[in-house]
Chains A and B, each alone.
Chain A
Amino acid sequence: MHTRLRPTLAVWKFASCDGCQLSLLDCEDELLALAGAVDIAYFAEASSTLRPGPYDLSLVEGSITTAHDAERIRAVRAASRHLVTIGACATAGGIQALRNFADVTDYVAAVYATPAYISTLATSTPIAAHVKVDFALHGCPIDKAQLLEVISALLAGRKPEIPHESVCTACKRRGTSCVMVAHGTPCLGPVTEAGCGAICPAYGRGCYGCFGPSEAANTAALAATWTVLGADRRSIHRAFRSFNAAAEPFREESDAHGDQDHPG
């Protein structure tokens, strides 16, 4: 980076809900300072000024679901020094990856009266399936403190300090008693990446895995525990097949509890 020239930031959207890029605007206390520290060159949700690259840092939200987007992500990569995926869609394919387990023509017909008008790929795939990703932020949505850490770290030329641990560790740190042990509530916390702050158990519900699988997640052991707690095959199948359905350990575990009659 050149002295005095502020690093440039770009924000890109693919198939997504806009919630992860909204996390940037949700940094109400930091937004104006951030806009002073970096040059926000391309952020269509926030500004009509859209400047051409190259960009020092691109934040990419959303998954690849159309042929056009598969081309577009290559152009984004080519224009970006660092590329960071933000959220479950960009990092793992998102909830729209449920189509990967179904017949997409059936999906199109279920929603649209004139399927011929719709152009879509059969799968929803993460950004890393198409281009090199320098860092991936998990979560549906991402945590805004993690986002600020990644932006600061990459622009300062250091490694982002994002811990890799399970939600269980975060629960213990927060002082939340285990919902599985104390209340028999099925929870995906033991196999889910931390980062959200272990919100769900603190609110008395089981983690639903929106940050995706943690490293070395033992999903089979957890599924066995769920069975002991009374969860049936179908609910185990559904639990692993949601916002990170296409992330490998979750995909495998949901397949292991698949039900031919109830493919959903």
Chain B
Amino acid sequence: MATKTIRVDYLTRVEGEGALELDISGDAVSGVRLAIFEPPRFFEALLRGRAGTEAPDITARICGICPVAYQMSAVHAIEAAWDIRLDAPLRALRRLLYCGEWIESHALHVVMLHAPDFLGFPDAISMAAVHGEAVRQGLALKKAGNALLRLLGGREVHPVNVRVGGFYRVPTRDELAPLASTMEEARATAIALARWVAAFPFPDFGRDYEFVALRHPTEYPMNEGRLVSSRGLDIAVAEYEDAFAEHHVAHSTALQSGLRARGSYLVGPLARFNLNHDRLSPSVQALADELGLAPGCTNPYRSIVVRALELVQACEEAEGLIAAYAPPPAPAMAVTPRAGTPQASTGAACTEAPRGILYHRYDLDAEGSILQARIVPPTSQNQSTIEDDLRLIATRDLALPEHELRDHCEQAIRNYDPCISCSTHFLRLTVRRQ
């Protein structure tokens, strides 16, 4: 039988390098491989022997798009190992910092990377010729998120202010106050953006995913909570490795994660929304309602609407946190790695990166140096779910011209905002037809 090959040299508008290979025999898709060949950087190996206190700054360098997520998971894991509990004002500042990253990252993905798919443009810059207002709104939101990162973190990419125990420096009320109006404006912009994306044409697609996210007693999840799923998983973060396992597959430099009991699962905005709809603010719930989005949504293309809703949520929360802010008595709790932990210790943490749960675990020696590190980024967790989606989409679209098949596959991958640097941005599509 004739073999036909399509090659797309780069998967664009994602962060990292990867390729997609489809094997097609007759009218069936016989193989799907999302190959991630981001050159390995060996973070888990190079962390061995470093001070536990260095983990937040070092692991931030795994991903320049979501460095705060890495800092948050790392710092909370080390604090768990050393039994450090932050008091309320420091905890609130951590949440405010994370809001900044959610806003920056979601605005980037919604407007600059994903919206062009739905409207038929190669990028946001060419999209700006027709949808100038939306692109300017996206950039304004991104700037607002970055303003929070700049003040609380010192800079947008790889902020310098997070330390084990708290921060190096906390802002004064006067420094933070001007950002209240920035966030108020950003919230209005995000609402407009949510209405804009909700009107996009969404492919009719959906399947019975197992959604996994953090769940907190009162808050929309960011820095803490239990790990829950739509099929009854409900565990403490420390039990993560009992429930999930990583596999190394030949076609990828990223490890693939699966539930030991049931295999692939989905993390990220859609999972958070479905499992934590009742933790969104009343106004965001009302907006979701207005936009026709209810918990139980199984269409991954609608994740762009959820990201927009989370933008509104993050802006609103940031506004509230700024209004309620009173500088903590000290920028950090006392940290003495040896005190209270005379012997080796282990700490794990999971936080909600913009793309989904990010798990870190550190084993530390009595002096506070890292013996072993384990990091499971969200894209590794979504990878086999993305492959499952692609198998269905490729089967459905087999009869289409190959450039359309390719475009549909790329768009489906972008539903997950895959941050391939953590794991890979180079998706080469190879279709082998037999």
B394 at the A interface (CB under 8 A): no
Q: Which of B41-85 contact A (CB under 8 A)?
A: 41-46, 48-51, 54, 57-58, 61-65, 67
Contacts of A46 in B (CB 8 A): 12-13, 112-113, 123-125
Contacts of A107 in B (CB 8 A): 42, 45-46
CA distance A66 to B124 in the complex (A): 32
Instruction: Give the one of A20, A50, A112 with max B CB within 10 A.
Output: A112
Residue in A99, A205, A238 whose CB lies within 8 Å of B163: A205
Whether A202 contacts B48 in the complex (CB less than 8 A), given A46-B124, A113-B248, comes out as no
Whether A95 contacts B123 in the complex (CB less than 8 A), given A19-B64, A26-B157, comes out as no
Asked whether, in the complex, the Cβ of B369 is within 8 Å of the Cβ of A17, the reply is: no
A110 at the B interface (CB under 8 A): yes
Main secondary structure on B side of the interface with A: loop
Query: Chain B interface: which of A27-35, A75-83, A161-169, A213-221?
Result: A27-35
B168 at the A interface (CB under 8 A): yes
Asked whether, in the complex, the Cβ of A141 is within 8 Å of the Cβ of B157, the reply is: yes
Contacts of A110 in B (CB 8 A): 42, 44-45, 48
Residue in A16, A113, A203 whose CB lies within 8 Å of B421: A16
Mask of A229-264 contacts with B, CB within 8 angstroms, 1/0: 000000100100011000000000000000000111
Asked whether, in the complex, the Cβ of A238 is within 8 Å of the Cβ of B50, the reply is: yes
Instruction: Give the one of A14, A20, A95, A99 with max B CB within 10 A.
Output: A95
A49 at the B interface (CB under 8 A): yes
Query: Chain B interface: which of A114-122, A128-136, A148-156?
Result: A114-122
CA distance A114 to B10 in the complex (A): 26
Whether A203 contacts B169 in the complex (CB less than 8 A), given A14-B39, A264-B369, comes out as yes
B273 at the A interface (CB under 8 A): no
Instruction: Give the one of A31, A94, A104, A106 with max B CB within 10 A.
Output: A31
Asked whether, in the complex, the Cβ of A31 is within 8 Å of the Cβ of B331, the reply is: no
B207 at the A interface (CB under 8 A): no
Whether A18 contacts B253 in the complex (CB less than 8 A), given A46-B13, A96-B42, A263-B49, comes out as no
Contacts of B335 in A (CB 8 A): none
Asked whether, in the complex, the Cβ of B122 is within 8 Å of the Cβ of A48, the reply is: yes
A102 at the B interface (CB under 8 A): yes
Asked whether, in the complex, the Cβ of A106 is within 8 Å of the Cβ of B426, the reply is: no
Which bracket fits the contact residues of A?
35 or more
Asked whether, in the complex, the Cβ of B248 is within 8 Å of the Cβ of A47, the reply is: no
Whether A108 contacts B42 in the complex (CB less than 8 A), given A32-B128, A44-B10, comes out as yes
Contacts of B64 in A (CB 8 A): 16-22, 141
CA distance A173 to B369 in the complex (A): 36
Contacts of A263 in B (CB 8 A): 49
Contacts of B131 in A (CB 8 A): none
Residue in B58, B155, B157 whose CB lies within 8 Å of A95: B58
Nearest CB in chain A to that of B70: its residue: A17
Nearest CB in chain B to that of A207: its residue: B160
Nearest CB in chain B to that of A202: its residue: B154
Q: Which of A1-37 contact B (CB under 8 A)?
A: 13-23, 25-26, 28-29, 31-32, 35
CB proximity of B8 to chain A, nearest CB, Å? 9
CB proximity of A163 to chain B, nearest CB, Å? 18
Asked whether, in the complex, the Cβ of B128 is within 8 Å of the Cβ of A203, the reply is: no
Nearest CB in chain B to that of A35: its residue: B125
A196 at the B interface (CB under 8 A): yes
Asked whether, in the complex, the Cβ of B61 is within 8 Å of the Cβ of A140, the reply is: yes
B210 at the A interface (CB under 8 A): no
Whether A28 contacts B142 in the complex (CB less than 8 A), given A15-B41, A18-B65, A208-B57, comes out as yes
Whether A203 contacts B154 in the complex (CB less than 8 A), given A108-B42, A114-B250, comes out as yes
Nearest CB in chain A to that of B50: its residue: A264
Asked whether, in the complex, the Cβ of B48 is within 8 Å of the Cβ of A118, the reply is: no
B135 at the A interface (CB under 8 A): yes
B33 at the A interface (CB under 8 A): no
CA distance A202 to B139 in the complex (A): 28
Contacts of B17 in A (CB 8 A): 13
Asked whether, in the complex, the Cβ of B154 is within 8 Å of the Cβ of A199, the reply is: yes
Whether A118 contacts B123 in the complex (CB less than 8 A), given A48-B13, A50-B12, comes out as no
Contacts of B50 in A (CB 8 A): 238, 264
Q: Which of B126-160 contact A (CB under 8 A)?
A: 126, 128, 135-136, 139-140, 142-143, 146, 154-158, 160
11 A-B pairs in the complex with CB atoms less than 8 angstroms apart: A26-B156, A32-B135, A45-B425, A46-B13, A46-B124, A48-B123, A50-B9, A107-B46, A140-B61, A200-B168, A264-B49
Taking beta carbons and an 8 Å cutoff, which residues of A are in contact with B? 13-23, 25-26, 28-29, 31-32, 35, 40, 44-50, 65-66, 69, 94-96, 98-99, 102, 104, 106-108, 110-114, 117-118, 120, 124, 140-141, 196, 199-200, 202-205, 208, 210, 235, 238, 242-243, 262-264
Question: Sorted from nearest, which 10 A-B pairs have the closest CB atoms?
Answer: A264-B49, A19-B64, A47-B123, A110-B45, A107-B45, A17-B64, A141-B157, A48-B122, A49-B122, A28-B143
Sample of 7 more A-B contacts, CB < 8 Å, known A117-B250, A120-B40:
A19-B158, A29-B139, A65-B39, A94-B61, A112-B255, A202-B169, A203-B154
